[in-house]
């Protein structure tokens, strides 16, 4: 079956030169359309690669955050275990010992022996987060220092005050005893 162009030429509606010109124009249009199709495909591929790269980066960030949260949780579990393993059996005493935790003054009732050791910095206070609130335990200073390396917010180390009296202080000769209760 002859093409439409051949049929039009036989019918005398189109001459040979005009047919060639139309064929060339059509061929050029097809080439341009094919090139633009490739360019559009390349843009789509590039956009897909960029989206994949962005998603990969977001996933990596999320994984880093999850890993950091798991590490923090593990450290808190280790700290809790260290405090509970090293705590001293504390019988509720009648001497109030005041210390600062989260910018609040807390009171812990201890035996006079423990109060003496706390004031001399031989003991420290370990803090354990519980669902019902924070609990405080007396622990040896060496254990408290190891805990403070991992998580300083879970331990209260009472340092001896090394206060040097001022030169013009009229009360410099009078020392305040550690066991003075107000």
- Give the three-class secondary structure for 108: strand
In this structure, the answer to whether residues 80 and 143 fall within a common structural domain is: no
Q: Kindly give the parts of the chain with pLDDT less than 50.
A: 162
Say if 162 falls within a structural domain.
no
In this structure, the answer to whether residues 60 and 98 fall within a common structural domain is: no
The whole-number pLDDT of residue 179 equals 65
Q: How far is CA 122 from CA 47, 76, 85, 147, in A?
A: 65, 24, 17, 15
The whole-number pLDDT of residue 170 equals 78
The whole-number pLDDT of residue 33 equals 78
The whole-number pLDDT of residue 140 equals 92
In this structure, the answer to whether residues 77 and 92 fall within a common structural domain is: no
Query: 127 lies in which domain range?
Result: 88-156
Say if 67 falls within a structural domain.
yes
Number of domains composing the chain = 2
- Give the three-class secondary structure for 144: helix
The whole-number pLDDT of residue 121 equals 84
In this structure, the answer to whether residues 82 and 94 fall within a common structural domain is: no
């Amino acid at each position: 079956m002859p093409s439409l162009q051949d049929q039009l030429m036989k019918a005398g509606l189109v001459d040979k030169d005009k047919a060639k010109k139309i064929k060339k124009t059509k061929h050029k249009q097809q080439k341009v359309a094919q090139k633009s199709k490739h360019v559009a495909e390349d843009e789509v591929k590039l956009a897909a690669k960029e989206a994949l790269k962005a998603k990969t980066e977001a996933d990596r960030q999320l994984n880093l955050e999850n890993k950091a949260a798991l590490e923090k949780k593990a450290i808190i579990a280790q700290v809790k275990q260290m405090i509970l393993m090293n705590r001293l059996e504390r019988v509720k005493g009648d001497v109030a010992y005041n210390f600062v935790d989260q910018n609040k003054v807390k009171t812990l009732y201890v035996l006079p022996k423990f109060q003496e050791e706390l004031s001399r910095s031989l003991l420290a206070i370990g803090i354990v987060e519980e669902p019902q609130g924070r609990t405080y335990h007396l622990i040896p200073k060496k254990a408290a220092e190891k805990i403070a390396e991992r998580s300083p917010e879970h331990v209260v180390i009472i340092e001896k005050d090394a206060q040097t009296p001022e030169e013009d202080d009229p009360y410099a000769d009078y020392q305040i005893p550690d066991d003075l209760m107000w």
